[in-house]
Chain A
């Protein structure tokens, strides 16, 4: 919305990545763009395998060793070098990962969230955060395998809330949550954005993206195909420019459930 005058937190332009694998070179990502301002929530939607999660890994610098990347990637105007990424990771830039095996299975969740909470008033802060995300205090003493998928998502959200990061990248943070919990989780992220952080929300939940994000970016096959205001997702999708974006909108169960992909 009025984000143009705000500080650019993250700028990714023409990002590409190839994977070298047993002699073959795989072109995984061709050209992705992403701009995030302070106070802005940008939702990334698109097909599975479009490169959304890879981009997230690239921003925090956790790509596999055989990845070769090109293009511009800057945080607050500084090129994101390996060294800068190592400094920012977990401090200024934090990733809420998608895979539920990202938690250490041998350590209680309370302890794992605690790593992100500062030393000051640690116990009290932890309690507050668990309450905020809707997890019972008893969950702190539990191990990851004892939690449901939805509870696990809340643990990741707790880690994001505990952090002081300026940029939060949330990869499918509401997968497996009920509607109330989705609204609560995204409401928390929205508040963080309003307080000056930048949020990247990778999601398939278009309705939630439309409700909470300012800007929606659409990726397909490793390319950016549309960047648009969230409000343009309405009616029968007339305000959306790209046929794939319109097809996504019209594939929702409430909008026709049409299984046609104009890209194939």
Chain B
């Protein structure tokens, strides 16, 4: 079980983004989250995935506080693939960072072998995002956060990506937080849906 426990955060010289925010995600559970643009969803995602330290509160898995793991047990699949992929690396080098990536997973995600020798700028946004997802899944972490990961896909690719992602997640009993503005999508794929504002004490002064 992943515990987000009374987490608070503000950027320097800005009001609190959220205070005492709590959320739990069970193994094998897919939790949907929605909320207004700019409310702090992606910041929360970065905190849970260990990219930002919360000012108060902590992230735990079972009863262990998370510190300095080699592969962080909560992997974030980022919203903007083009900003988190090294532009000067070939795609196969980017994938080499994930030790547990299988051929099967790549084909499941619709990654063509001819793409592996390309550089990021030679791929479309949707193609890049498939690599982004593969790279995260290939770490074999127990928990994932998908932050608006299919809004750049056409409807068919979106359905395909989710069907294959859900298959992986369900088979291996991973936990996942899905952040999206597409409520129809959340209703379709999640066990439970939460509204960001209901998780925290709102405090905007």
> Which 4 A-B pairs give the minimum distances between C-beta atoms?
A48-B126, A150-B37, A259-B159, A251-B155
Q: In terms of DSSP, what is the predominant structure of the interface of chain B?
A: helix
Residues of A within 8 A of B125 (CB): 48, 53, 98-99
Residue of A48, A205, A206, A260 near B124 (CB, 8 A) is A48
The reply to whether the CB of B113 lies closer than 8 angstroms to some CB of chain A is no
Interface flag for B173 (CB, 8 Å):
no
Inside 8 A of A253's CB, which chain B residues have their CB?
159, 182, 184-185, 187-189
Q: Answer yes or no: B34 CB below 8 A from chain A CBs.
A: yes
The distance from the CB of A71 to the nearest CB of chain B, in whole angstroms, is 21
Q: Which residue of B lies closest to A177 (CB)?
A: B37
B82 contacts the other chain (CB 8 A): yes
Nearest chain-B residue to A252 (Cβ)? B155
B62 within 8 A of A: no
B113 nearest CB across to chain A (Å): 16
CA distance A149 to B182 in the complex (A): 15
Which chain B residues (59-94) contact chain A, with CB distance < 8 Å?
A: 79-80, 82-83
Interface status of A101 (Cβ within 8 A of chain B): yes
Evaluate whether A149 and B42 lie within 8 angstroms (CB atoms) in the complex, with A175-B152, A176-B79, A179-B183 already known: yes
State A148–B162 Cα separation when bound (angstroms).
24
A137 to nearest B CB, angstroms? 14
A interface footprint on B154-167 (CB within 8 Å = 1, 0 otherwise):
11111110110000
**Docked complex Cα distance between A48 and B112 (Å):** 14
Contacts of A151 in B (CB 8 A): 37-38
